[in-house]
Every structure is written in structure tokens, then in C-alpha cells.
Amino acid sequence: MAKLVILSQGLTGKTHELKVDKTTIGRVDDNTLPITEPSVSSHHCEVLLRGTDVVVKDLNSTNGTFINGEKVTGEAPLKPGQILRLGRIELRLETDAPMPASKKPVDSTMVIQRGVSLTDLEAGARGGFDTSGTGFSKKTNKGNRMFLIAAIVIGVVIVALVLIALLSASKPTAP
């Protein structure tokens, strides 16, 4: 028998067996499977049993219904092992029947662009990307220049104040 297993934290492991032809899922208690989570709409979606197939129908939910990251518009089939996401809640469809073995990925050859050859290096070629005609140039750093000018001005003012203080301290005061 098919069942939905909640994977999201706080509800992890909670299961719901799909016993009837139409299971409604939503935030309010009149749903077949109520999920009290703010990201789930009050009547979020329907899970329909059609023979051995399971179909998900979005009910114009606010945060959307997704199967393996793909948004459900209208109806979409849900296969065993796939993740159904309602708002922020994730559920996985499980069945008692063993899941079909996944196909082994076909071995393929990947073309890797070559780097700099030894003859290019011996001839003095540079590695990396040629950025001469791309419009990239070194950024002028006006911030550092302004900081340097401000530091020099402040330094001159401090030296002047120290000299004034020393000169005024060394003058005898008139009676």
C-alpha cells in the first residue's frame, strides 16, 4: 500500500497511508491529512489514487506544490521515492513493492580542454585567459588615495599643534 512519509523536522517519520481514492492535504482539520504548518495552505493539494498510479493535484496553493523541485501545475504523477513539497514541508511516497532499480548511468567520455602545451611554454606563451580585448582593466583605487591624503593632512596638523604647544610653553609669560 502506498503511503506518504513526512521528512521535515518536527514532523519527521509521521506517515499517512493512502487508503482512499482522494486524499486532501492542508493546514485545516477538515483535510484527510492535516499538516498544521504556516507554509501549507488551508486546502493545499489532493493526492489521487488511479489504479496503481498516484497523482498530485495542486489546489491553487499559496506556496506551491512541488515534486522533486518541479512545480506542479494542474496534475502530476508521483512515483515511489519522489519528494512531494508543500510549502516548506517535504513528504516522500513509499510503497510496499520494491522500488525499481535505477538505471546505471551510461559511461561517457568527457572532452577536457587542453591547457598550455610545453611548446607554448618554451616559446614564452602565457597560460590562463587572454583578457587583453575584454575590457577588463585594473581598477583605480581612489579610496586608498583619499585615505593617504587625509592621513598626510592630519599628520601635518598634529605636528603643527605640537610645535605651537612647545613654543607657547617655552615663552616666558609677562607679569
Mean pLDDT across 68-87: 93
What band does 142 get if pLDDT is binned at 50, 70 and 90? Answer: confident
Residue-wise pLDDT tens digits, 43-60: 999 999 998 899 999 999
Question: pLDDT value at position 162?
Answer: 94
- Three cell numbers written together for 122: 618554451
Spacing of C-alpha 140 from chain mean position: 33
Question: pLDDT value at position 28?
Answer: 94
Number of neighbouring beta carbons within 10 Å of residue 94: 16
Bridge-based pairing state of the strands 75-78 and 83-86 = unpaired
pLDDT-above-70 percentage for the chain: 71
Spacing of C-alpha 27 from chain mean position: 26
Alpha helices in the chain (DSSP H): 118-122, 142-170
For residues 65 and 88, give the distance between their C-alpha atoms in angstroms, rounded to a whole number.
Answer: 10
Instruction: Tell me which of 91 and 104 has the higher pLDDT.
Output: 91
Q: Is the pLDDT of residue 129 over 60?
A: no
Mean pLDDT across 56-77: 93
Query: Which region, left, alpha or beta, applies to residue 101 given φ > 0 means left and ψ of -120 to 50 means alpha?
Result: beta
